[in-house]
Amino acid sequence: MDAPRGRWGLHWQAPSTMVAFFIFGVTMAVGHHLFYKRLEGKLVVGTSSDWDLEAFLHGQEWKIRFGTALAFLTQSLFAKAIDQAFQQTVWVAARNKAITVDGLDAMFSAGSSLLSFSKLEFLRKATLGALLGLLKWLIPLSALVTPATLTVIPWTSFSNSTKPVPAVNFSIIEPLYHFYESVREMDYGFLSNNGITPKLTRILSSAATSLQILPMKAIAPNSTYEMTFHGPSLRCSRPEPIIHEAIHLMVNSTYEVVYQWTPERFAQEMSWVAFAPTENIFQYVYLGLKGTIPLASNKTRVEFLKFARICILQGDSFDNQYLCEGVVGFDESNARNVTYEYMSTLKSADGSANYGRIWVWVNASTTYDCVLTDTEYSARFVYSESESMQRVDPGYNFTWTENDLYGSYFATAGALSNFLTGAIRSDSEGSLIVRQTRITESAIFGALNLKSEVGDSGPGLSSRVITPEIRALARGKTAGELIEELSRNFTLSLFSVDQVLSMNLTEAVVTVSSQANVYAYASRNLVITYAVTSALSLIAILVGLVSLLRNGVSHEIGFLAFLLTTRNPRLDNFTLDQSMGALPHSEKVKETKLRFGFIRGSNGNMMQPEWQSLKTSSGDDQGQTGPGRVGFGFENEVQPLIKGTAYL
């Protein structure tokens, strides 16, 4: 009876399984990437239930579940491919070297037990198998990284549309200015505000004391737009010599009213004097310019003393009919250029009302001629979420133009005149003395000079009055620059007054932002993780394929494989008292070295089954030509397998 022969050759199942698991793993990895890429940037949809069709298709929880499932499948497929390669590799190690039973047990169980890696013999004699086994254990760690590459983050989206936006209509002045309370020759002394309404006064006061532009009602939540428009502002410059002389004389007159005598020096103690010149002052400036009546004349001095007492210091009037005009209003149909009005004053003896000029003396030497000027503003209006209001970005741009003024521009100049007009000085002890002016409420106060030391009789104010905190408000700017800034902030603050806003004056591109939660995908982390995982799996498969070729047959690790490869009567006798396989295993058995190969008999001949005798050409086992048995045997009874040789 002919014995069955062992089959050489690779069965398709082992290599195809390795490759198939790898391909499916790569496919799942690509699918995971495409799934997350499709979600990237999309809105997170909330659902009322977690287990209906809507939740299944759109719910955030299900998106996370799908991603986790893809990550689990991907790592499982890669781990299975590596496991197939690992099985082929350990059989190569079992054939090449004799290994103790304990080492073989660790080697064949490394794919399912981490304790196997504590066996040094396994690591030393089956290093490649140990690496593949360890890789199989590490591959699932990729599932800790890849699902977390999809997160939910807050996102701001923007939509643009062109629509009408509110703009200050400077032809509407009624809420800000009462024309008939300021008509020339009717507003006497200091008993009124020259027609400026309390509302406009409050706006200026709020802008000055808060050091910022007042907010306005929002046209829409989270809206932003830019707008260019014209409005008033003061332009402060060093005056012409005749005006400088007039301001000088007015400060001197103020000092004289205070001390009731003409000072020997020029009012060094006065730190601030500001006023809006009247028609009479203009006339004397004209006459002084022409040389008709010098500014130093007694007639001029009397006029200036009256003005200083009534309009600057708010003292008792020499003449109860004396007029403090301030900035005089005019009808919007008679809009005119303030610079032109001033030039007309100098060219004729008729004089002219003050349509927008404020003269300032500051720090005992510096003078300013602040002129109401048409200004082109380019401002950005942004939404303040904390206030639910629209605010003007402080970084607005402006340009002074030569355009004529709108009829209502004078209202802002009048309010500024009321705010600035007055005097500030200090006494010999450094105490502050303020008459009428309200600049102490603004950053302008921080630009005034300090005395060099306490008790100093020179110009400036005491450091007890202007503290470092107040000084910091000026931000290193001059008084003239701060007056200009206040006038612009005041104009921009008019957007907070609904009564003077119109929606049909201009349009702008309005950008509305909205907050939402969207999916964010860190593709780089997922791609790198899967690229490394795929590369390591591919290397493992190549090692497994090479092991298959070296083995010449396809192996697996399972009960049937060990049943077929341990049919050795000597092993049966050696383990006779260990047939239960119960723990603990015998140390003698564990330390016995076995090897997988061609098994010889105990007498030096090849082991024979009862039904066949083996024939040799020379009478010893080295010339063996007949069929023999393959399996695990003791180190001294096993010889290496020869590929292609017929074995039982």
Residue with tokens 């689990």: 72
Phi and psi of 216, rounded to 5°? -125, 170
Check pLDDT > 50 for residue 604: no
70: amino acid identity, one letter: L
Query: What are 482-508's pLDDT values in tens digits?
Result: 999 999 999 999 999 999 999 888 999
Q: What average pLDDT does range 127-136 have in this prediction?
A: 85
Check pLDDT > 90 for residue 370: yes
So where are the chain's domains?
1-166+516-554, 174-501, 558-648
Q: What average pLDDT does range 26-36 have in this prediction?
A: 93
Out of 77-91, 159-173, 341-355, 542-556, pick the least confident.
Answer: 341-355
- Give Cα separations from 356 to 50, 57, 311, 351, 416 (angstroms): 70, 69, 16, 15, 10
Check pLDDT > 90 for residue 123: no
Q: How confident is the model at residue 609 (pLDDT cuts 50, 70, 90)?
A: very low
pLDDT at 605: 45
Out of 64-78, 224-238, 364-378, 625-639, pick the least confident.
Answer: 625-639
pLDDT cut 90: percent of the chain above it: 30
Separation between Cα atoms, residue 482 and residue 471, nearest integer Å: 13
Contact between 583 and 39 (Cβ < 8 Å)? no
Task: Enter the pTM of the model.
Answer: 0.64
Query: What are 164-183's pLDDT values in tens digits?
Result: 999 998 877 777 877 666 65
pLDDT at 128: 85
- The string over 441-465, giving b where at least 16 C-beta atoms fall within 10 Å of a residue's C-beta and e elsewhere, is ebbbbbbbbbbeeeeeeebbbbbeb
Local structure of residue 370 (DSSP, 8 states): E
- Give Cα separations from 61 to 37, 64, 154 (angstroms): 17, 5, 17
Q: What average pLDDT does range 402-429 have in this prediction?
A: 85
Check pLDDT > 50 for residue 388: yes
Check pLDDT > 90 for residue 461: no
Question: Regarding predicted confidence, which is higher, 188 or 38?
Answer: 38
| Contacting residues for 512 by C-beta, under 8 A, at least 6 apart | 158, 159, 160, 161, 220, 221, 222, 223, 224
pLDDT at 550: 79
Separation between Cα atoms, residue 79 and residue 419, nearest integer Å: 82
Q: DSSP labels for 534-594?
A: HHHHHHHHHHHHHHHHHHSB----SHHHHHHH---HHHHHHTGGGTT-PSSPPHHHHH-EE
- For residue 604, the SS3 value is coil
SS3 sequence, 93-110?
HHHHCCEEHHHHHHHHHC
Question: Regarding predicted confidence, which is higher, 187 or 631?
Answer: 631
Q: What average pLDDT does range 362-378 have in this prediction?
A: 92
User: Average model confidence (pLDDT) for the chain?
Assistant: 80
